[in-house]
A and B are shown apart, each in its own frame.
Chain A
Amino acid sequence: MPNRTIAPPIKDAVDFELVLPRCDHHVLSNGVEVYALNMGSEDTLQINWVFYAGAWYEKKKALAAATNFLMKNGTSGRTAFEINEHFDYYGAYVNRSCYSETSEVTLHCLNKHVHALIPVIAEMFTDATFLEEELAIYKQNSLQRLKVNLQKSEFVAGRLIDSYLFGEKHPYGKYNNAEDYEALTREDLVGFYEEYYRKGRMVIFAAGKLPENMIAELEKYFGGLPVRKHRETVVGVQHKIEPATEKKYRIMNDPNGVQAAIRLLRPFPNRHHPDFQKAQVLNNVLGGFFGSRLMGNIREDKGYTYGIYSYLLNFIHESGWMITTEAGRDVAEETVKEIYNEMELLREEEIDEEELMMTRNFIIGTVLGDLDGPFQVIGRWKNMILNGVDEAYFYQSLQVVRSITAKELQELANTYLQPDDFYELVVI
């Protein structure tokens, strides 16, 4: 019978050699870059087309997201139904998503069908029609979804907290109201599409078991388009951050609500700042995983919540440090207090070696697990490339995890985990 009180020996995850598989880099005739990762044994692949066509560039709210969504709903040669049926017939998934800076179209398919699918994607980028009727349905459905969401305290809290930090006019802080959807016109969409897609800036990421002529195929359909390479510096659109002066908010959204959505957020520089990678480690200690302080105290010790997390926002220009949870209504204020207590502990005491080691191992283990599979690996590359950092940044961040000291973490806590710097919001 084994002695169960003694843990089996482990190899510290920090000692694992982590290698980020290399990506092939190609440039199409028009300068558009393609990052291709040929990896994996399954017969599946993923291609991401990324445009600089996020909310950052829109002059009217909700425009970037509407354009991204409706690009798939009809071209001059195919109706929305025909496009959907074409992708569905080959068992392919085409998703669109719109973020603050960028907007994407992603294709997932079996590699045996990719040749039938790429031409239709190209059609979406060059020949979308944006019919009035499709826009009308989109508006109506967005309005209805908004109505349902506004009943959820977490949704309301999520939009308000960002607006306090960045200001309601900033792309990171603005949010859509009913009148914003209502004000969208077909001309707005066509104009945005022309400028930011047809003549926009594009970069392509492909991963999986790629067919041999993949690059030639991408060249054929995308290399001749009037799009530009994504690194091209145009006179950048600038947005000014206008933070709120008031820091603390309490909002009653649903008088019968049984839970409170709690958000704390402070400004934080972007990932080029020397503290960014170090702060990621401190963030893990605070609330980045199940073994974190916030989870241990507020969920596992007090049972106030089902989950509590902290994270650094993933924006290109600026970041923020966010803490988020949904807690019982009657313990909401107590929860806020406990969050500050955890910050205080991190400021006042160095964390012990065991906890630091556990955090290091957890982070490295997660990275190791994340590098498993082509889609995860290309995801890392995409994130690095869009944020303007290179491979060295990846290895440097691992080095930070391995070498950061308890003293450095305490100093960071004193710099960044000061209650006065946080916007604080409770929505019931």
Chain B
Amino acid sequence: MIQFEKFTLPNGLRVIVHEDHTTPMAVVNIMYDVGARDEDPNKTGFAHLFEHLMFGGSINIEDYETPLQMAGGENNAYTSNDLTNYYVQLPAENVETAFWLESDRMLSLAFDEKSLEVQRKVVSEEFKEHYINKPYGDVWFKLREMAYKVHPYRWLTIGKELSHIENATLADVKAFFAEHYNPSNAIMVVGGNIKTAQVRELTEKWFGDIPSGKKWERHTPEEPVQTAPRREIVYADVPLDAIYKVYHMDNRLSHGYYVADLITEVMGGGGSSRLFQSLVKEKKLFSNIECYHFGTVDKGLLTIEGKLVKGVKMEDAEAAIEEELEKLKREGISEKELTKVKNKTESAIAFEDMSVMTRCNNLAFYELLGDASLFNSDREKYFSVTVEDVLNYSRKYFDVNNSCTLCYYSKQ
């Protein structure tokens, strides 16, 4: 059980305190309830661009990094389709520095053309480094567009196309900031060697006078149920053929999510998983095969991804995947196999919980989902999954009408 306390400022800022006096450090984690799913389809990549701009100085503090480094702190941030998370770790005695810096950038950024210009370029280089200059780098652009027709998960956090970022104007950026980066849309978790009373005092001092702003009302369109299989073929300058199959799964809060998560472990979690053992080791059709999902808040994609052994036919490789899925749908799994994947999950959670930083981050995420205390019941939800659930859900998810397949052929 992770202990925490919670309070809310009059301006709407939700604050969670997690005391841990075994460490000399403190963590200040601010999660904004804004991700790529909140972007205008014609201006994608903004939440991520903001992650960069947020380090370019704020209204009263010219430079974010220098004073933090002066205080012995480190920080970083990440953006997903669902959320943006900023985190700082520093010696607990200097925790106020983090309050000062984070509150000022929540109050307002120091918007200017030069900073925007530079970060536009940096993000463009990031785009190239990860998505253009890499073999198979364009796969998820295609898969998302195939799997989602209306839901904004149809683009990546980096953005749908480079031009959206290249054309971002200062006015766009200001409007996006005003809409999302305010106390009503933020959750702050302070953890480590600190006391709740001290956190309350510092929060009131630094965040109390920030105008609450408007709570962003999310009207994300629900993706209609897919009713027919979707397929696409690509020829690219890569050395090996690859296949990607994705299936729509349940949202983060539903029971089906936990079942799907365990199914990915059964199929693709490491050396004893079904796909690896059968298709890499026994049948030698793939040099590598994985099964995973992204843990998204709204309905996500359960994915099977494999690189074919040179000379293996795409049809044979795909048929072999189908056969494993059919076997799962027909026979389900044994109690022992279910215990195995539950044990793996229990262990993964225990290792995650070792760091104060991860605990703070998780508390913020569950609060974003609705209630930080969900953090403590997550483990039980995995343990409540039964072999019948696995059978029923695999029949539901692994339906051909719920599938998108990308056959990625090597031109070489």
Does B24 interact with chain A (Cβ within 8 Å)?
yes
Contacts of B272 in A (CB 8 A): 81, 84-85, 87-89
Complex Cα distance A141/B287, Å?
A: 5
Pairwise interchain contact B118-A303, C-beta atoms closer than 8 A: yes
Pairwise interchain contact B271-A151, C-beta atoms closer than 8 A: no
Whole-angstrom distance from the CB of A63 to the nearest CB of chain B?
Answer: 21
Complex Cα distance A217/B24, Å?
A: 33
Complex Cα distance A375/B351, Å?
A: 11
Contacts of A357 in B (CB 8 A): 70
Pairwise interchain contact B135-A91, C-beta atoms closer than 8 A: no
Pairwise interchain contact B125-A144, C-beta atoms closer than 8 A: no
Pairwise interchain contact B70-A10, C-beta atoms closer than 8 A: yes
Bitwise, B86-112 to A at CB < 8 A (1) or not (0) is: 000111011011011001100100000
Whole-angstrom distance from the CB of A57 to the nearest CB of chain B?
Answer: 26
Give which listed residue, B72, B96, B309, contacts A8 with CB less than 8 A: B96
Does B65 interact with chain A (Cβ within 8 Å)?
yes
Pairwise interchain contact B238-A365, C-beta atoms closer than 8 A: no
Assuming A8-B100, A328-B125, A358-B66, is B117 touching A303 (CB within 8 A)? Answer: yes
Does A232 interact with chain B (Cβ within 8 Å)?
no
Q: Which residue, A2, A16, A41, A299, has most C-beta atoms of chain B within 10 A?
A: A2
**Total number of residue pairs linking A and B with CB closer than 8 Å:** 213
Give which listed residue, A40, A42, A304, contacts B121 with CB less than 8 A: A304
Assuming A81-B277, A88-B271, A140-B309, is B347 touching A109 (CB within 8 A)? Answer: yes
Assuming A148-B239, A306-B125, is B340 touching A88 (CB within 8 A)? Answer: yes
Select the stretch in B178-186, B256-264, B353-361, B383-391 that faces chain A. B353-361
Which residues 195-213 in A have Cβ within 8 Å of B in the complex?
A: none
Pairwise interchain contact A147-B240, C-beta atoms closer than 8 A: yes
Does A106 interact with chain B (Cβ within 8 Å)?
no
Give which listed residue, A10, A109, A299, contacts B71 with CB less than 8 A: A10
Which residues 319-371 in A have Cβ within 8 Å of B in the complex?
A: 326-328, 357-359, 361-362, 364-366, 368-369
Pairwise interchain contact B93-A144, C-beta atoms closer than 8 A: no
Assuming A144-B309, A299-B122, A368-B25, is B128 touching A258 (CB within 8 A)? Answer: yes
Pairwise interchain contact A7-B100, C-beta atoms closer than 8 A: yes
Closest to A150 in B: B239
Assuming A41-B22, A148-B135, A373-B354, is B97 touching A8 (CB within 8 A)? Answer: yes
Give which listed residue, A13, A87, A151, contacts B135 with CB less than 8 A: A151
Give which listed residue, A72, A108, A141, A369, contacts B74 with CB less than 8 A: A369
Closest to B62 in A: A5
Does B69 interact with chain A (Cβ within 8 Å)?
yes
Does A43 interact with chain B (Cβ within 8 Å)?
yes
Pairwise interchain contact B240-A4, C-beta atoms closer than 8 A: no
Whole-angstrom distance from the CB of B103 to the nearest CB of chain A?
Answer: 8
Give which listed residue, B100, B129, B347, contacts A326 with CB less than 8 A: B129
Contacts of A152 in B (CB 8 A): 133-135
Pairwise interchain contact B350-A110, C-beta atoms closer than 8 A: yes
Complex Cα distance A303/B166, Å?
A: 13
Give which listed residue, B66, B118, B126, B284, contacts A137 with CB less than 8 A: B284
Pairwise interchain contact B72-A365, C-beta atoms closer than 8 A: yes
Does B373 interact with chain A (Cβ within 8 Å)?
no
Contacts of A44 in B (CB 8 A): 347, 350-351, 354
Does A226 interact with chain B (Cβ within 8 Å)?
no
Give which listed residue, A7, A87, A369, contacts B89 with CB less than 8 A: A369
Give which listed residue, B122, B271, B309, B346, contacts A80 with CB less than 8 A: B271
The size class of the interface chain B forms with chain A is 35 or more
Pairwise interchain contact A327-B125, C-beta atoms closer than 8 A: yes
Whole-angstrom distance from the CB of B347 to the nearest CB of chain A?
Answer: 3
Does B200 interact with chain A (Cβ within 8 Å)?
no
Complex Cα distance A304/B240, Å?
A: 31
Bitwise, A51-93 to B at CB < 8 A (1) or not (0) is: 0000000000000000000001000000011011101111111
Contacts of A9 in B (CB 8 A): 96
Q: Which residue, A8, A41, A80, A147, has most C-beta atoms of chain B within 10 A?
A: A8
Pairwise interchain contact A84-B118, C-beta atoms closer than 8 A: no
Pairwise interchain contact B271-A145, C-beta atoms closer than 8 A: no
Pairwise interchain contact B271-A84, C-beta atoms closer than 8 A: yes
Pairwise interchain contact B125-A84, C-beta atoms closer than 8 A: no
Secondary structure type dominating chain B contacts: helix
Bitwise, A93-121 to B at CB < 8 A (1) or not (0) is: 10000000000000011100000000000
Which residues 33-47 in A have Cβ within 8 Å of B in the complex?
A: 40-44
Which residues 118-171 in A have Cβ within 8 Å of B in the complex?
A: 137, 140-141, 144-145, 147-148, 150-153
Whole-angstrom distance from the CB of B412 to the nearest CB of chain A?
Answer: 9
Which residues 295-322 in B have Cβ within 8 Å of A in the complex?
A: 307, 309-310
Bitwise, B122-160 to A at CB < 8 A (1) or not (0) is: 111110110011110000000000000000000000000
Complex Cα distance A83/B277, Å?
A: 12
Complex Cα distance A300/B277, Å?
A: 47
Closest to A2 in B: B205
Bitwise, B236-256 to A at CB < 8 A (1) or not (0) is: 011110000000000000000
Contacts of B345 in A (CB 8 A): 91
Contacts of B119 in A (CB 8 A): 303
Give which listed residue, A40, A90, A144, contacts B354 with CB less than 8 A: A40
Give which listed residue, B69, B123, B273, B310, contacts A289 with CB less than 8 A: B69
Contacts of B61 in A (CB 8 A): 4-5, 7
Whole-angstrom distance from the CB of A93 to the nearest CB of chain B?
Answer: 8
Pairwise interchain contact B238-A151, C-beta atoms closer than 8 A: yes
Give which listed residue, A13, A81, A258, contacts B271 with CB less than 8 A: A81
Does B8 interact with chain A (Cβ within 8 Å)?
no
Give which listed residue, A145, A303, A304, contacts B120 with CB less than 8 A: A303
Closest to B242 in A: A148
Does A31 interact with chain B (Cβ within 8 Å)?
no
Pairwise interchain contact A88-B121, C-beta atoms closer than 8 A: no
Does A372 interact with chain B (Cβ within 8 Å)?
yes
Contacts of B93 in A (CB 8 A): 10-11
Assuming A81-B271, A306-B125, A365-B90, is B343 touching A90 (CB within 8 A)? Answer: yes
Does B5 interact with chain A (Cβ within 8 Å)?
no
Using a CB–CB cutoff of 8 Å, the interface residues on chain B facing chain A are 22-25, 59-61, 65-67, 69-74, 89-91, 93-94, 96-97, 99-100, 103-104, 107, 117-126, 128-129, 132-135, 205-206, 209, 237-240, 269-273, 277, 280-281, 284, 287-288, 307, 309-310, 336, 339-340, 343-348, 350-351, 353-356
Can you report 5 residue pairs joining A to B where beta carbons are below 8 Å apart? A81-B271, A83-B271, A88-B269, A145-B288, A299-B122
The 3 closest A-B pairs by CB, nearest first: A365-B72, A303-B121, A13-B72
Not counting A258-B128, A305-B122, A328-B125, a sample of 7 additional A-B residue pairs whose C-beta atoms are within 8 angstroms of each other reads A8-B97, A10-B93, A88-B344, A89-B343, A91-B346, A147-B240, A375-B354
